Amino acid sequence: MNSEFVKGLCKIISDFSLIVVLAFFISWAFLSRVVMQGFSMNPVIKDRDVVLVNRLYKNIIPLSRYDIVAFNIDGQDNIKRIIGLPGDFIKISSGNIYVNLNRIEEDFMQDSLSTSIDNEVYVNSNEYYVLGDNLDSSKDSRFKDVGNINKNSIIGKVWRVIGTR
């Protein structure tokens, strides 16, 4: 065999191996997979959809209002949308949602609130108030057993749906 050919082949194999190792490291260090369970985020994320979660968000890149995040409560992974940021005042009254006394009405909210839950909550530092897009099928921050989500419980920001389980 030609030595130039062998050198070239070795270089290609070496470069490819480095790319594979870097890709593995990046995905291991910064990404997680979470499976959506339930219908609370329909139609954006459906039941049994597998999502990639970027763990750089929350610790390095700040989370923003309306980001979709994965978090863990009592060993159970959940996916919801951030409505309230640290320092916000959330009020739910007569089926309307207010953030700092401003009514929110976004396209991602599939339903109006048909429940008669009226609530006023202050979001403390290191906490987030989350809601599912499918409001009538979501167990979220409106309920006392969920409440505000502590920053330490957040896995990261949902990046994209990668398949269905």
Burial of residue 119 (number of CB atoms within 10 Å: 0-12, 13-18, 19+) = middle
Count of domains in the chain?
Answer: 1
Catalytic site includes residue 80: yes
Q: According to the per-residue pLDDT averaged within each range, which of 9-18, 31-40, 103-112 is highest?
A: 31-40
Cα–Cα distances (Å) from 58 to 90, 92, 95, 98, 130, in that order, read 21, 26, 30, 24, 15
Rama region for 3: left / alpha / beta (φ>0; ψ in -120 to 50; rest): alpha
What is the distance between the alpha carbons of residues 85 and 99, in angstroms, rounded to a whole number?
9
Both tokens assigned to 159: 């990046």
Query: Is the distance from CB of 28 to CB of 42 less than 8 angstroms?
Result: no
Any domain includes 2: no
Backbone angles phi, psi at 35, to 5 degrees: -100, 125
Any domain includes 112: yes
Burial of residue 18 (number of CB atoms within 10 Å: 0-12, 13-18, 19+) = exposed
- Provide the pLDDT for residue 112: 59
**Residues 59-97: tens digit of each pLDDT:** 788 999 999 999 998 889 999 999 999 999 999 887 788
Q: Is the whole-model pTM more than 0.95? A: no
CATH of the domain at 115: 2.10.109.10
- Provide the pLDDT for residue 77: 93
- Provide the pLDDT for residue 141: 93
Any domain includes 124: yes
Catalytically annotated residue among 3, 17, 40, 125: 40
Any domain includes 17: no
Greater confidence, 160 or 118?
160
- Provide the pLDDT for residue 27: 64
Catalytic site includes residue 40: yes
Catalytically annotated residue among 3, 64, 80, 138: 80
Domain holding 153, by residue range, is 32-164
Q: What is the rounded (10 degree) CA torsion for 20, 23, 27, 33?
A: -60
Mean pLDDT is lowest, of 20-29, 31-40, 50-59, for: 20-29
- Provide the pLDDT for residue 47: 93
Any domain includes 1: no
**Residues 101-113: tens digit of each pLDDT:** 999 877 766 555 6
- Provide the pLDDT for residue 109: 67
Any domain includes 144: yes
Query: What mean pLDDT value characterizes the chain?
Result: 86
